Amino acid sequence: MSAVELYFDYNATTPVDPEVLKVMAAVARDTFGNPSSSHCFGRPAEAVAATAREQVAGLIKAEAQDIYFTSGGTESDNLALKGVVLPLLLKGEKPHIIVSQVEHPAILKSCLFLEGCGARITWLEVAPDGTLAPETVAAAIQNDTVLVSLMLANNETGVLFPLSEISKITRARGVLLHTDAVQALGKVEIDVGTLGVDLLSLSGHKVYAPKGVGALWVRGGVALEPLLHGGGQENNRRSGTENLPGMAALGLACEILSANMAAEGRRIASLRDKLESELDKALDRQLTFHGHRQCRVPNTISLSVPYVDGESLLAHLDLENIAVSAGSACSSGEHRGSPVLRAMGVDDELIQGALRISLGRWTTQAEVDTFLEKFTTVVRRLWAISPLYQKISYS
């Protein structure tokens, strides 16, 4: 990455850690055997897969045998939801599923698909600060609810859902609980035992491993129909010859996080908090920050700049070689802007000026200082040509 480019979009994807890259290349070059082959090329490949499984399991305090490698977070989410619900639909049942309105499209669209197949979905509202009360989940559970799926950390705001409290409720009611932990992994401690969930999705490219690899953790004893049928890899739950370099990469990425996550999180949180308060001060306290202030991952800022359009702000920042995200824009055109902020009840005008800024492993103090200076300059330039801003400030 060139020195003049400022990457503040770690929630979109992360650069691959150089150590991870080395291991990936070594596995691709030296351990090219098929892990299913019983000869001298297959055995080392199988050993690489076994180590990777241990490393991923280690980060979430799980058993290695319960980790199933996939192609990423989207596949893990699809496998969790469809794997649990499709067998019931095929039996002619009309099972009930509960999700929040702020889930990733991998969950929301899987639910729409399952709804089309006969499932009933409850889409839970969240509080204005993006949190979700366990009682809201409890109240939504029906006699035939089979699955609750709630993200651990939100990709746009970083807000955390209280999964360990929610799991007490789902367990007592005999309902399975899946969590999309793609944005939480490596940012907060995850212990599947304490969390009490039954299925957990994760993705490599959010944790300094490459794109195209992820995993689903499934508690022992949970029945799950595979989506991919074939050679029976991953204990019959995900057929297809293994992406061994990707698995080794995700394994090492998880091991690095197991060792460094706490210190890394503290460093990133202190940069994030400083950036947030300095931005607020530099722009005359006119910014609106979204999401619960404490109950969130350490790296994410979700904010709205009044009187400017987020997309044009993004474009102007891009001209300064600053990468941030405007949040996922709905493609229909009618409801532009972040569905997550919409679900939190944020005003349309503020949604239009919303940005997500996310920091990570290689964000430095110097980068934060340059970001602050350039961001402030760009916003003031846009305010200077905004008729609305002029009207408000001179009225």
Which are the catalytic amino acids? 330
Q: Is 236 helix (H, G, I), strand (E, B) or coil?
A: coil
Residue from 72, 251, 298, 353 touching ligand PLP (CB under 6 A): that is: 72
Provide, rounded to whole angstroms, the least separation between the CB of residue 72 and ligand PLP. Answer: 3
Q: Which stretch binds ligand PLP (CB under 6 A): 47-55, 67-75, 108-116, 342-350?
A: 67-75
Binding residue (CB under 6 A) for ligand PLP from 6, 52, 137, 151 = 151
* List 53, 82, 96, 104, residue binding ligand PLP (CB under 6 A): 104
> Would you give the binding string for ligand PLP spanning residues 210-229, x where CB under 6 A is met?
----x---------------
Q: Which of 221, 161, 156 is nearest to 195 (CA)?
A: 161
Distance CA(88)–CA(194), nearest Å, equals 29
Residues 6 or more apart whose Cβ sits within 8 Å of residue 315:
none
What's the CA gap between 284 and 225, in Å, rounded?
Answer: 55
Q: How far is the CB of 250 from ligand PLP (least distance, A)?
A: 11
Instruction: Identify the residue among 55, 110, 145, 183 touching ligand PLP (CB under 6 A).
Output: 183
Q: Which residue in the set 81, 106, 216, 297 belongs to the binding site for ligand PLP (CB under 6 A)? A: 106
Asked if 300 touches ligand PLP (CB under 6 A), the answer is: no
User: CB burial class (10 A; 0-12, 13-18, 19+) of residue 100?
Assistant: buried
Helix axes of 105-116 and 73-90: crossing angle, nearest 10 degrees: 20
Does 179 contact ligand PLP by CB under 6 A? Answer: no
The Cα 35–Cα 241 span in angstroms is: 8
Number of residues that bind ligand PLP (CB under 6 A): 14
- Kindly report the number of other CB atoms within 10 A of residue 215's CB atom: 32
Residue nearest to ligand PLP (CB): 73
Q: Could you say which residues in the range 318-347 bind ligand PLP, by CB under 6 A?
A: none
- Closest distance of CB 136 from ligand PLP, Å: 20
Is 62 a binding residue for ligand PLP by CB under 6 A? The answer is no
CA dist 328 and 170 (Å) reads: 30
* Structural tokens at position 291: 């999401």
Mutual orientation of helices 244-282 and 18-30 as an angle, nearest 10°? 160
How near is the Cβ of 384 to ligand PLP at its closest, in Å?
A: 35
The Cα–Cα gap between 325 and 300 comes to: 11
Binding residues for ligand PLP, rule: CB under 6 A, are: 72-74, 77, 104, 106, 151, 155, 180, 182-183, 203, 205, 214
